[in-house]
Structure 1
Amino acid sequence: MKGLKDKVVLITGGAGGIGSAICRRFAEAGSTVAVFDLNSDAMQKLTSDLEASGARACGYKVDITDHDAVNAAVARVEDELGPIDVLVNNAGWDIGAFFLQTEKPFWDKVVAINLYGPLNMHHAVLKRMSARGTGRVVNISSDAGRVGSSMEAVYSFCKGGLIAFSKTMAREMSRQQIPVNVVCPGPTETALLDNLAQGEKGEKIKAGLVRAVPFGRMGQPDDVAGMVLFLSSDDAAFITGQVISVSGGLTMVG
């Protein structure tokens, strides 16, 4: 894909399943990869692997729910690696539960990570992109934010909010021609899915999801990474404010 070589790309939740796949694909494209994650061990292993393959990669332990910490970390990335060209908001967290069985401390954690985290990242990074008049943003939402998902009420609330916010930012950034787009994974083999579907009941849920997907399989992290790279590339320079599902046909939204 065009225009990714030597670009500085910042990925939140970069040490996780989908995040690490995205990092590896950017590294293969010749980008410089900045990884934000709270899991220091996984992040260190990932960046070491990327560097061993010849890529330039740095890890930063950052709590994206902390506004001041995000600003400081973003400034550090630009000092150490150069101006951020692409922001991928990928970090997320949830545990499956029916809404009426949950309590406010759980809501607060889900909202802080899945909604306030991306708000903090946009605020810190887009200020810099806007001043330079260049950049790309790709937000990882979820089909749960498009059509809802049982046992993911607050998560769906956040992901739906992220979709609406992304469309608004796409409009606000259009003067600077900074595209802002959204990728919505369907059921994907990740630790997040394992959190939602645990034990024997969880295996039945996963089997049911596979049966529901027209392609007949669960998504893999690399399925999502390919779309993220495309939307970050010069090939997608005239695409903004769009929401694209990567779900094997489970969700077909016009």
Structure 2
Amino acid sequence: MTKKVAFITGAGRGIGREIAQKLAHKGFAIVVTDVHLENANETVSRIAEIGGEAVSVLCDVTKLESVENAVQNAVEKFGKIDVLINNAGWDKIEPFLKSDPSTWELILNINLMGQIHTCKTILPLMIENGYGKVVNIASDSGRVGSSGEAVYSAAKGGVIAFTKTLAREMARHKININSIAPGPADTPLFKEIGEYNEGIATALVKAIPFRRLAQPSDIANAVAFLASDEAEYITGQTLSVNGGLAMV
């Protein structure tokens, strides 16, 4: 297998699908993982249309056993994993005092524990292979907070801290670990959680200096850079992709 292999979580739609297509265009073989296999299959079909190589794998990042099975399937198919993109995420926008403990648990399990599970499983393979890059999708809410997203912000803040610590531990193995912190993006998830306030998108567009929401391609372009050998000397960093909404 001469191509580099990218294992992408939550790649069945939205930002994850765009990342998968972008990396396939760059010559990566793609492991498209998602908790909804039909969505993952659709991403694989789109990659095939552009002449790329991809396989769909069922993966529930909240369950370590599911992650382990997905990684095993990926290695059986491609023999290795060179790049891990921790993209899977979910949120429910609501005031914290009106939120439910079951929602807290789901948000933390998907957004934080999911990334812990994949790193625990895949990093030893990267160490053995002598190469690896990890890009964790965080959020600017994890850096500056976001009303209606208290637990999500806490989870994404955890991702940023987790990224920095792993970057320190993995540097001796020459494995680069960074995170992308998107601002509000025009995705299916944003449309779903936007029901909390129908005017939220309009208000955000007015607040963003570039006067638009991020497109999935904006995030994918940044991920592709950090996943490339051009970012060989970059590790432990958090890159905001937010149109200037927050400058930190």
Question: What letter is aligned with 1:14?
Answer: A
Matched, 1:99 2:96: yes
Offset, 1:14: 0.4
- Which residue number in structure 1 is paired with residue 218 of structure 2? 223
- Which residue number in structure 2 is paired with residue 111 of structure 1? 108
| Secondary structure of the corresponding residue to residue 64 of structure 1 | coil
Structure-to-structure mapping, 1:1-254, within 5 angstroms: 6-198=3-195, 201-202=197-198, 204-253=199-248
Cα distance in 1 for partners of 2:37, 2:56 equals 8
Question: What letter is aligned with 1:20?
Answer: R
Cα distance in 2 for partners of 1:181, 1:140 equals 9
Cα distance in 2 for partners of 1:194, 1:151 equals 15
Offset, 1:251: 1.1
RMSD: 1.1
Greater mean deviation of Cα atoms: 8-17 or 126-135: 126-135
Instruction: Return the TM-score normalized by structure 1.
Output: 0.95
Cα distance in 1 for partners of 2:79, 2:208 equals 42
8 Å Cα contact 1:94-1:195 kept in structure 2: no
Runs of 4+ in 1 over 6 A off after TM superposition: none
Instruction: Return the TM-score normalized by structure 2.
Output: 0.97
Cα distance in 1 for partners of 2:103, 2:19 equals 28
| Secondary structure of the corresponding residue to residue 197 of structure 1 | helix
8 Å Cα contact 2:13-2:43 kept in structure 1: no
Question: What letter is aligned with 2:188?
Answer: A
Deviations 1:145-178, CA, capped at 9 Å, x for gaps: 0000000011001000000000000000000110
Unmatched 5+ residue regions in structure 1?
Answer: none
Question: What letter is aligned with 1:59?
Answer: S
Offset, 1:52: 2.7
Question: What letter is aligned with 1:238?
Answer: Y
Cα distance in 1 for partners of 2:38, 2:65 equals 23
Cα distance in 1 for partners of 2:243, 2:118 equals 29
Aligned length: 247
Question: What letter is aligned with 1:219?
Answer: A
Q: How high is the sequence identity, in percent, across the aligned residues?
A: 44
Deviations 1:30-58, CA, capped at 9 Å, x for gaps: 11000110122221111012123211100
